[in-house]
Structure 1
Amino acid sequence: MGGSLKQVRDAGRGGAGPFRVLACLAVALALSACAGEQTGTVLAPAAVKVPVEAPRVTGRDRGSDADHAKLVASFGGEYRAPATLRLLTEVTDRLVKASDRPDQSYDVTLLDSPVVNAFALPNGRLYATRGLVALASDTSEIAAVLAHEIAHVTLSHATARTELELRSQLVSRVVADVLNDPATGAQLQSQSRFALARFSREQELEADGAGVRTLARAGYDPFGAGRFLTALNRTIALKSGAGSAGEPDMLATHPGTAERIALVTRAARRTGAPGIGIDDRARYLAAIDGISYGDNPGDGAVRGRRFIHPNLGIAFEVPDGFTIENTRNAVLGTTGEGSRRLLFDQVEAGAEQGLDEVLKATWNDIIEPGSIETRSVGVHPAATAVSRGKDWTFRLAAIRVGDRTFRMIMAAKGATDPDPAFRRWIASLSAIAPEDTQALRPLRLQVVPAASASAEDLARRMAVPDRALDRFLVLNGLERGAALKPGESYKLVVE
């Protein structure tokens, strides 16, 4: 979304602003890049180190089971897929033996989340989401993800970053409070944000290089790292509705994706020619066949232009041209060219609080005077309003369904009023009975052999809301125009 996202976010600036969740989505995508951007670098390892004079304020705490349980719960709990977890554990054991710390022990947890993410804790716990596992196309790609996360542990990156963060905070606090120079303290704090972002990028590059070396030493195809990164980049572009995933700004914690793809390819070439390592594709596909794909229906599901949330007991349909995504905090939507966007979320509101007051309390920009209307949407009480920012025009609604209150926000770029589409959208909001959701079945991956060389033939069987061919190609690591190999297996998304 790039600059357009920033403009929309700025239009609703502040902690309760309307597109705060869009900003969170951008952060989530950046975090997910740590999982996918397992790209090696031909540069020397990052030279950034915590100064020896820095106060030692952290230690190597292995963490408690309670912390682990909270973290797992925040990602939807553990996902039970014995064959998949067994493969991840075997790959991890093989990588550890080839790493710089073969004595380190690791424990792998598979998370029940559709987001593409993986991360490691300093105590040797590795986490991968089912969304990440679904995106990888062979064993070398998933091994690249795990090798990168193992490198973060062996290089003590989390400890080093915490030390630098706390040292920066300490210095700015001393200057501001002890030396009574708040202006300089604030300046130092601002400078430290850029320093920490640069430090994180250099850590990623260092983990990239170590990960690719470990990947090759373990006998896996080192080019799997670049293939997975490319798939991740294409996935982000599909989600954003843009032609590319965009590049991070100066405060991003990860280097640019295009740069990393080039670097990992060069790094892999230094280990040898393509084909020297195994990718074990058939075994990998067999291990992930049948795993869940996308949202858990109970947490809300997208079916075409319709969103259904059984636990909340509501459903709605977005106007033509919108593609929507269910995130942890909101439903987000955008048109292909990015000129219109929408957001649906639940807000805290007391039973006695007027819906006009809800709009004012949850929107930090200026609501146009006289634009607030109290009305009904079907049988549900609602309040609507208009807000005009520098680059966007917003239509807002707060609607009460039972004892819950929801916001529905649509934005159009420029002075164009999105009111006609907005009214159709909010009018589609309805309560649903439990029996109406019984037919809402979860999506899953199905691994099937190709009967012909046509990707279009298999793509037509994909149970996805739009761009079935593009999603099929990304899911299987194929470029547009690529011919399938009859008899070879490929991933589909089915009900």
Structure 2
Amino acid sequence: MFVLLFVLMLSGPASAEGLTDLIMSPEDEKRIGAAEHQKILTEFGGAYHDEALTDYVDSIGQFLVTTTATADTEYTFTVLNSPVVNAFALPGGYVYVTRGLVALAENEAELAGVIAHEIGHVVSRHSAKRQTKGTLANIGLLILGAATESSTAVDIGQLGASAILSGYSREDEYEADNLGVQYMSRAGFSPHAMASFLRKLQANDQLQSLLYGRRSSSGFGFFDTHPRTADRVERAIADASALQVSNPIVAQDIYYEKIDGVLYGDDPSEGLIFGRRFVHPDLRFQFTVPQDFHLINTPTAVLARGPSGAGIKLDMDDARTGGDMRRYITDVWAPEVTVRNVRRFKVNGQPAASAVISGIQNGQADAVLAAIYHRKNVYRLAFVVPRAVEGRLNYAVEQTVQSFRSLTAAQAREYRPQSVVVHEVQPGDTIHSLSRRLPFADHQLERFLVLNGMDRNSDLRAGQLVKLIE
């Protein structure tokens, strides 16, 4: 068997499909997709609960599937409850778009372009082929392991969501674009909508750089998983020899009707970010991170990135030691680690404790742990403090801990979700006057322009529909 696998490793590209089937059959793809589906829901805030919108997205996806060479394949289309702008596919026909991406798209044709591209990845079995390459690369380790009686092994069943969502190659992206162009044309959409939306995605990426000083991505941003440019998409359109579509489907009016009221930004049930302040109305607390730190909200923790590799993580745990936070740190949180400077104190009247772990990251940083007892749970703040900036950050760490405070029920009710609102332009409306209606303290014009696919020279006409946030 090892000899056979070694021969397969040396086989030419003509046997690539056979190799893929050997490592991961279509049945394996379905099994892995089904198993990873729940992990994707957990990672991205679950499915978005808007039946009209989800049925609409599913109808577009199922329509596009009928134009493929594998029209009898079962697909599952899901709108994820995440403000992150992204779309991706799992093996076995699982295709996802985030509500953040849905809010950014301008019409049905642009959303169809995204979905058609992801269907192209599924039809081409790119996830399976990528896993095949990784598995074959490790076959040498298996052979070595057998010779040396090592227990090293590669288990295809351990394929995880992060591995599946790692970036595609440029060749894979081009193939998915080429197929997506064909599917769009057959369905009656102009494939150029795929390129126009990619330009919007690039503008959104630039906006994130402006807002956060860097691309604000957890690794799952659009260009982390899709190394594409609009020029390459246009080349795919030319190379695909797609059908010329007369009177192509755009469907902006129906699209705006479907997205009117869609949740925008963070879901209040997962907490809200206001600049450097994080507020969780349901759990009734808030805290503020230091200047030069940028907050990132995830379903399981709140993260903040700071200068020189500094970082903050807040998560929650059961209060297994009651209100004794000193004992929580030493007995529950860090029982096998040497901690120093352990002390008890109060944070706005709530029991708290902190400790220091020295010499993490090969001695280049220290960790500060702070545990706060709030409403019968423990809120854990973990700080990474690089020694190069330790003097500057020590006071900021203390300020962050002391900024943690409870919200009254009345205060919690003041925070309501933001949503997309479709506005019909009135005489006298300008991009400047409408952008000032956005509920943001900074870069209102830039946010408005990206949301609506415009630039600073765009003119509005009475009766035109635009997106606002309220």
Please, what TM-score do these two structures have when normalized by structure 1? 0.71
Residue 444 of structure 1 deviates from its aligned partner by: 0.8
Residue 466 of structure 1 deviates from its aligned partner by: 3.7
1:401 aligns to what? 374
1:59 aligns with 2:39: no
CA distance, structure 1, for counterparts of residue 216 and residue 286 of structure 2: 30
Residue 93 of structure 1 deviates from its aligned partner by: 3.9
CA distance, structure 1, for counterparts of residue 368 and residue 202 of structure 2: 32
CA distance, structure 2, for counterparts of residue 228 and residue 450 of structure 1: 22
* CA separation of 1:65 and 1:158: change in aligned 2, threshold 3 A: closer
The answer as to whether partners of 1:399 and 1:405 remain within 8 angstroms in 2 is yes
Worse-superposed segment, 86-95 or 386-395? 386-395
Which structure's CA Rg is the greater one?
2
Matching residue's letter, 1:415: V
1:415 aligns to what? 389
CA distance, structure 2, for counterparts of residue 323 and residue 445 of structure 1: 24
CA distance, structure 2, for counterparts of residue 102 and residue 348 of structure 1: 49
CA distance, structure 1, for counterparts of residue 23 and residue 31 of structure 2: 22
Aligned partner (choices 322, 343, 346) of residue 376 of structure 1:
346
2:279 aligns to what? 308
* CA separation of 1:52 and 1:313: change in aligned 2, threshold 3 A: closer
CA distance, structure 2, for counterparts of residue 468 and residue 366 of structure 1: 47
Residue 290 of structure 1 deviates from its aligned partner by: 0.9
* CA separation of 1:116 and 1:55: change in aligned 2, threshold 3 A: closer
1:425 aligns with 2:400: yes
1:179 aligns with 2:155: no
Please, what TM-score do these two structures have when normalized by structure 2? 0.75
* CA separation of 1:51 and 1:262: change in aligned 2, threshold 3 A: same
CA distance, structure 2, for counterparts of residue 175 and residue 206 of structure 1: 35
Matching residue's letter, 1:455: I
Q: After TM superposition, list the pairs within 5 Å mapping 1:300-339 onto structure 2.
A: 300-320=271-291, 322-334=293-305
CA distance, structure 2, for counterparts of residue 55 and residue 415 of structure 1: 49
Structure 1 residues without counterparts, runs of 5 or longer: 1-44, 190-194
Q: Secondary structure at the match of 1:325?
A: strand
Q: Secondary structure at the match of 1:351?
A: coil
CA distance, structure 2, for counterparts of residue 47 and residue 473 of structure 1: 49
CA distance, structure 2, for counterparts of residue 247 and residue 398 of structure 1: 25
Q: After TM superposition, list the pairs within 5 Å mapping 1:68-147 onto structure 2.
A: 70=38, 74=42, 75-147=44-116
**Corresponding residue pairs, total:** 436
Residue 351 of structure 1 deviates from its aligned partner by: 1.0
CA distance, structure 2, for counterparts of residue 54 and residue 437 of structure 1: 55
Q: Secondary structure at the match of 1:415?
A: helix
CA distance, structure 2, for counterparts of residue 298 and residue 310 of structure 1: 7
Q: Secondary structure at the match of 1:141?
A: helix
* CA separation of 1:429 and 1:53: change in aligned 2, threshold 3 A: closer
Aligned partner (choices 421, 434, 457) of residue 458 of structure 1:
434
Deviations 1:13-55 (A, max 9, x none): xxxxxxxxxxxxxxxxxxxxxxxxxxxxxxxx99965537946
1:471 aligns with 2:417: no
1:286 aligns to what? 257
Q: Which fold has the larger relative contact order, with Cα–Cα distance below 8 Å and residues 6 or more apart in sequence? A: 1
Q: Secondary structure at the match of 1:51?
A: helix
CA distance, structure 1, for counterparts of residue 25 and residue 436 of structure 2: 57
Residue 139 of structure 1 deviates from its aligned partner by: 1.6
Worse-superposed segment, 160-169 or 103-112? 160-169
The answer as to whether partners of 1:234 and 1:244 remain within 8 angstroms in 2 is no
The answer as to whether partners of 1:50 and 1:163 remain within 8 angstroms in 2 is no
Worse-superposed segment, 123-132 or 72-81? 72-81
Worse-superposed segment, 56-65 or 439-448? 56-65
Matching residue's letter, 1:375: F
Q: Secondary structure at the match of 2:66?
A: helix
* CA separation of 1:384 and 1:65: change in aligned 2, threshold 3 A: closer
Identity rate of aligned residues, in percent?
29
The answer as to whether partners of 1:91 and 1:143 remain within 8 angstroms in 2 is yes
Matching residue's letter, 2:415: L
* CA separation of 1:155 and 1:357: change in aligned 2, threshold 3 A: same
Aligned partner (choices 345, 348, 367) of residue 315 of structure 2:
345
1:264 aligns with 2:233: yes
* Superposition CA RMSD, Å: 4.5
CA distance, structure 2, for counterparts of residue 410 and residue 274 of structure 1: 56
Aligned partner (choices 190, 200, 212) of residue 231 of structure 1:
200
CA distance, structure 1, for counterparts of residue 327 and residue 443 of structure 2: 39
CA distance, structure 2, for counterparts of residue 316 and residue 46 of structure 1: 58
The answer as to whether partners of 2:352 and 2:371 remain within 8 angstroms in 1 is yes
The answer as to whether partners of 1:46 and 1:206 remain within 8 angstroms in 2 is no
The answer as to whether partners of 2:188 and 2:248 remain within 8 angstroms in 1 is yes
Residue 295 of structure 1 deviates from its aligned partner by: 2.2
* CA separation of 1:56 and 1:447: change in aligned 2, threshold 3 A: closer
Q: Secondary structure at the match of 1:329?
A: coil
Matching residue's letter, 2:434: L
Matching residue's letter, 2:389: A
The answer as to whether partners of 2:168 and 2:227 remain within 8 angstroms in 1 is no
CA distance, structure 2, for counterparts of residue 223 and residue 238 of structure 1: 23
